[in-house]
Amino acid sequence: MAVIALVSAKGSPGVTTSALAAALSWHRRLVLAECDPAGGSIMAGYLGGALDGPRGIGELAVGELRDGNLDSAFWSQLVDLDAPRRERLLLPGVVDPAQAGSVTPLWQRFADFFTGLEKGVPPYDVLADCGRLQVAAPPWPVLRAAAVVLLVTRAHLPDLSATRSAVRAIERDFTEHRVPPGTLRLLVVGEGHGTSEISRALRLPVIARLPHDPRTAAVLSFGGTVRSGRPLMRAAGGLEVPIRALLERRQARLAWPGAAQPPAVTAPTAPGVSGAV
């Protein structure tokens, strides 16, 4: 399925929590990439700072700018969320504000690399946590490269008002850069207005709704035991189904004969990813 990006208009509607819940429930090999320019939180939160030494997209960016070694260094920067199976991997986000300056000029390079993971051996999907749009340098190339972009919003009026503006901004950018239609969808989090009402008001389909589940959200934010039977995890486990259905419908509707295929990316055969939990 290539790249699925999650982003919000502003604030904290639960982008990282939603992305992590989906990643822990995903049925295919997956890389969860923290692409939030404001910084990653999973290492310090859910993983409790369990790993020693720097790890993640900031280190990759510094190495790529210095040596151009992204292809060889990528796999060594990942954390196995389900060790030792290497099926759910985390690329931690920046932890030092100084790293953000190194990452910003490389968003297109990372977007191209993420897209190639679908054709790798073995293939990996990518969930990209892109944070919020109201930052100095959003990762637009990652959003444009995504097969599906999920705009995460809570269902109350102040959140929906901000989300409406974000919908317009993303649609303008996607039109300008010729992103295929049907890429953008809403992911609603928590209680509030109904999904049909939200979809009509924002003129955008709602792909799914994740329930209000503060106990599980706290575990995903601060660490602990994730229970698959909890409401949030059950809903996140089903998110893959409508995403896949959307892509299959779009592929059937939009035939792209002769379209250039991204380069394949081959994962190392020897275990090279450290487990953190």
The domains located in the chain, with CATH, are: 3-255 (3.40.50.300)
| SS3 labels along 203-262 | CCCEEEEECCCHHHHHHHHHCCCCCCCCHHHHHHHCCHHHHHHHHHHHHHHCCCCCCCCC
166: enclosing H helix or E strand: helix 157-176
Distance CA 148, CA 137 (A): 20
- The predicted-structure confidence for 62-72, as pLDDT tens digits, reads as follows 999 999 999 99
Token pair 């990996």 in the structure block, residue: 124
Would you say 16 and 141 are in contact if contact means Cβ atoms under 8 Å apart? no
Instruction: Look up the pTM and report it.
Output: 0.89
Q: What is the pLDDT along the chain (277 residues), one digit of tens a residue?
A: 689 999 999 877 899 999 999 999 999 999 999 999 988 999 999 998 876 667 899 999 999 999 999 999 999 999 999 888 899 999 999 987 777 888 999 999 999 999 999 999 999 999 999 999 988 889 999 999 999 999 999 999 999 999 999 999 999 999 999 998 899 999 999 999 999 999 999 999 999 999 999 999 999 999 999 999 999 999 999 999 999 999 888 777 766 555 445 555 556 643 333 443 3
Give the count of beta carbons closer than 10 Å to the beta carbon of residue 68.
11
Q: How far is Cα 197 from Cα 210, in angstroms, rounded to an integer?
A: 16
The 10s digit of each residue's pLDDT in 131-148 is 999 888 899 999 999 999
Measured CA to CA, the distance from residue 246 to residue 209 in angstroms comes to 16
**pLDDT score at 187:** 98
In the chain the first and final C-alpha atoms are separated, in Å, by: 27
Asked if residue 160 lies in contact with residue 153, where contact means CB atoms within 8 angstroms, the answer is: yes
